[in-house]
Amino acid sequence: MGEVSAGSAAAARTTVREELLGALRSASDHNRSDVVPPAAVLWTDKERRWEPVIPTLREALPLLTFGPYEPEALTGPAIWLRCVLAGTLPEVDLPEGTPVVYLPGVGRSDLRAVEDCPKPLQPLAELQYRGVIFSHPNGRDWTPAAFLARRLGVEVAGGSATQGALTRALRELIKVPVQELRASSPLQATDLDELLVPDMERELLLWLDDPRAYVEARGPAVRAAFENLCAARYGFDPQADGDLEAARLLMGGQGPWEAVWKRYAEAPGRYPNLPTLLDRVEHIGEMKLFDETSPYRPRDNRAQEAHLREALLALENLTAPAARARIAELEAQHGRRRGWVWAELGQSPLALALLPLATLA
């Protein structure tokens, strides 16, 4: 942990991206008085775990990638990379600094023996002698989890679920200050998924309102994070259980679902399809969650509006004192519905009209 302690003060003020850039730059440090500068920093990544963040690193680093010929993305085969490093391609303008050559799908062992090196890599193999390899002190490739733990003091929980979450959340994770990550260490799968879905209550409501549109609008990484958080935080599987089960849980208003309903009540007009979905839940045979009128069920509100309409029409048969007393009773029964979401959606006009009538009475 000595390496972490030495840079702890700086790490606390910087993001993971800045720390990673600093580590790549320092990999080429050398004694300028008696050592020839390295020709390149070779960054091996057998499992391609760093690949999602390469474009954002390229903005601040002379970073080349071994791969298909795409010169506009500073990506190309070994021969092209050698030409760029030799400065024979004037159309390629690299930022200042020692070039970093990212090698996705290539491990350090793939470069060791030039004669046994895969043919597409052979033009780059000799660079390991004129350059340096950016690797873990134990000689293996740096993985994101190892870099976070060894260089930054941010532990990541084990298990395939957490590793998968780390891979899909890496683009967002590198933007986070190291100090914040340390405070949450060891990072769990849910911590990482929340980087992709930071407002889960809103995401749930958008999905409930139109599951198909939600899936089409979200990329695979966000969808996977959303599904994992649904299982971990809300106790249902979007694919296996579907929107009806989620709506049933929402109408229960228990645990984390209470916060989701409150979020819905803040702006119900943003989710125009949700009342129809809640009505569909009421047709499920086992749905007997509420013995009394519930603010969660649009059907209950409609039934109460019908009851209030009949009661108001019956007032013409009463004396003035009796009518005033009856209006007071109706206000006690129905006044609370003005605070339900259905009133804001225009589905409680009589409950709203009752207030000035009760004031007059």
pLDDT digits (tens, 9 = 90+) for 189-209: 999 999 999 999 999 999 999
Please, which pLDDT band fits residue 32 given cuts at 50, 70 and 90?
Answer: low
Cβ(43)–Cβ(134) under 8 Å?
A: yes
Preceding omega of 186 cis (within 30 degrees of 0): yes
Cβ-in-10-Å burial (0-12, 13-18, 19+) of 274 comes to buried
Q: Which residue has the higher pLDDT, 196 or 294?
A: 196
Q: Which residue has the higher pLDDT, 217 or 35?
A: 217
Cβ(158)–Cβ(10) under 8 Å?
A: no
Q: Is the pTM of this model over 0.85?
A: no
Query: What is the token pair recorded at 215?
Result: 């899936």
Q: Quote the CA–CA distance of 170 and 49 in Å, as a whole number.
A: 9
Q: Once rounded to an integer, what is the mean pLDDT over residues 260-287?
A: 85
Please, which pLDDT band fits residue 11 given cuts at 50, 70 and 90?
Answer: very low
Query: What is the token pair recorded at 264?
Result: 């819905």
User: Which element (helix H / strand E) includes 313?
Assistant: helix 298-313
Share of the chain above pLDDT 90, in %: 74
- Can you give the pLDDT at residue 9? 52
Q: Quote the CA–CA distance of 93 and 223 in Å, as a whole number.
A: 38
